[in-house]
Amino acid sequence: MGNDPYRDWADRYDLFPEDRSEETGFFEKLFSENRVRRVLDCACGTGNELLIFDALDCDVVDSDISDSMLTHARERIDESGAQIPLHRLDYRRLPDKFTEEFDAVVCWSASIVHVTDDEDALKAFQSMRSVLCKGGVLVMDQGITDGLWSDSVRFSLNRSSSEATRLYAVDFLGERKATYHVLDVIHGDHPELKV
């Protein structure tokens, strides 16, 4: 898998299963109101949203920069029986692979914060826009608020269950720059978790 910075993270990414009913309702309403049929999830990760889009009868295409994340997404697709193409691709380079246009481009799960600077962010936005049809929708979330940034909270408990706890440790590096470290603490013996 070469130099994949998400290799270790991919195995633990779905450590905390989530109820996706609110997310499903959001996409169902948005896609219905905007007549979305073709969807590109350009940072699909382990594929949590792709099955939502497939269930909404969308023509779904997925991409991610990480081979490890795509491996997990492929497993999820295969288990569901869905037919969804996956591509290894940086979301700053979408036109390199896609000549067709999409009704919606989705960049979910705070994936946009993985760009390193404003120039990379602009490349990402231009890339996403270039494969979006006229009147199409770009859907993204970023997970960082002005309040969180201004408070410079160093440690943040993300999730906790009887099996594991996830803690974020943030190194604030100046104006709008930070490094996030993810610490997963596994409670008890869970050999299936590669930590």
Domain holding 129: CATH number?
A: 3.40.50.150
Q: Is residue 124 part of a domain?
A: yes
Tell me the C-alpha distance between 89 and 105, whole Å: 14
Same domain, yes or no, for 76 and 155? no
Report residue 102 as tokens.
């999409």
Same domain, yes or no, for 131 and 172? no
Q: What is the pLDDT of residue 1?
A: 42
CA dihedral 45, 36, 93, 89 (to 10 degrees): 30
Q: What is the pLDDT of residue 13?
A: 67
Structural domain harbouring 110: 7-140
Same domain, yes or no, for 18 and 111? yes
Q: Is residue 68 part of a domain?
A: yes
Same domain, yes or no, for 135 and 154? no
Same domain, yes or no, for 112 and 166? no
Q: Is residue 112 part of a domain?
A: yes
Q: What is the pLDDT of residue 41?
A: 95
Tell me the C-alpha distance between 195 and 183, whole Å: 10
Same domain, yes or no, for 112 and 33? yes
Same domain, yes or no, for 131 and 182? no
Q: What is the pLDDT of residue 142?
A: 67
Same domain, yes or no, for 89 and 115? yes
Q: Tens of pLDDT along the chain (195 residues)?
A: 458 877 876 777 666 667 778 989 999 999 999 999 999 999 998 888 999 999 999 999 999 999 999 999 999 999 999 999 999 999 999 999 999 999 999 998 766 666 777 888 899 999 999 999 999 999 987 665 555 556 666 777 666 777 777 677 777 776 666 676 777 777 776 555 554
Q: What is the pLDDT of residue 165?
A: 73
- Burial readout 5-17 (b: 16 or more C-beta within 10 A, e: otherwise): ebbebbbbbebee
Same domain, yes or no, for 136 and 153? no
Same domain, yes or no, for 127 and 62? yes
- Looking at the structure of the chain, the number of domains it has is 2
Q: What is the pLDDT of residue 195?
A: 45
Same domain, yes or no, for 61 and 136? yes
Same domain, yes or no, for 152 and 136? no
Q: Is residue 1 part of a domain?
A: no
| Strand-strand pairing, 102-107 and 38-41 | parallel
